[in-house]
Amino acid sequence: MTMKILIVDDHAIVRQGLRALIDKEEDMEVIAEAATGSEAIRLSGECRPDVIVMDISMPDVNGIDATKIITGASPEVHVLALSMESDRRFVVEVLKAGANGYVLKDAAFAELATAIRAVAANETYLPPRVTSLLIKEYLQRIPDEVPATYENLSLREREILQLIADGSNAKEIAFAFGVSVKTVENQRHSIMKKLDLFSIAELTKYAVRQGLTSLK
């Protein structure tokens, strides 16, 4: 089945170049071109393309706003954003607007063709450079968003956490380690504070996620 493609870019030479390349693909056909976001919105409703290759930076209605309007009115239409920008803000905004993928304009046509087929199959496509950028920024934010992790616990606290998750009470844990119940309760409080958890149930769920117990 041939995919129907709508090309949206405010530069005629870009549209013509993309049309020439896309039309050479056996499973693709360019059915229309648009030079503005508002024209893209109109043609999307008239032509019902399978995939819209959408430039982000355009006069009139920009590609992000046009994407939001088009996908809101026609969820079955898949949008592949095309841009010179690899900035995270552009990527996130156009994906939030409803785009299924993002390709940089300096990419080879083979990548664009791959991206078109991916979004037509209702998959998300991001180039490796953009994916690496998003992952790097996400990892940099983790310490602020998740201040406490398993690694913050001492060896004894990890052992106590595992026993709690396995169902042992404070008295049983105190007996196992040869300490007072009060000492175990203090250590349990320390574990909760470090992990930002507030109940035995939450501690148990956390231990399961960490692989400390399977609750068999």
- The 3-class secondary structure across 96-120, one letter per residue, is HCCCCEEEECCCCHHHHHHHHHHHH
Give the pTM.
0.64
Per-residue pLDDT, 140: 65
Domains of the chain and CATH, by start: 3-140 (3.40.50.2300), 150-209 (1.10.10.10)
Q: How high is the pLDDT of residue 139? A: 65
Q: Which residue has the tokens 């300096």?
A: 106
Distance separating alpha carbons of residues 203 and 192, to the nearest angstrom: 7
Closest by CA to 91, choosing from 121, 128, 61, 60, is: 128
pLDDT profile of the chain (216 residues), mean per 10: 94 96 96 96 96 90 93 95 83 91 93 96 90 74 52 83 87 91 91 85 79 58
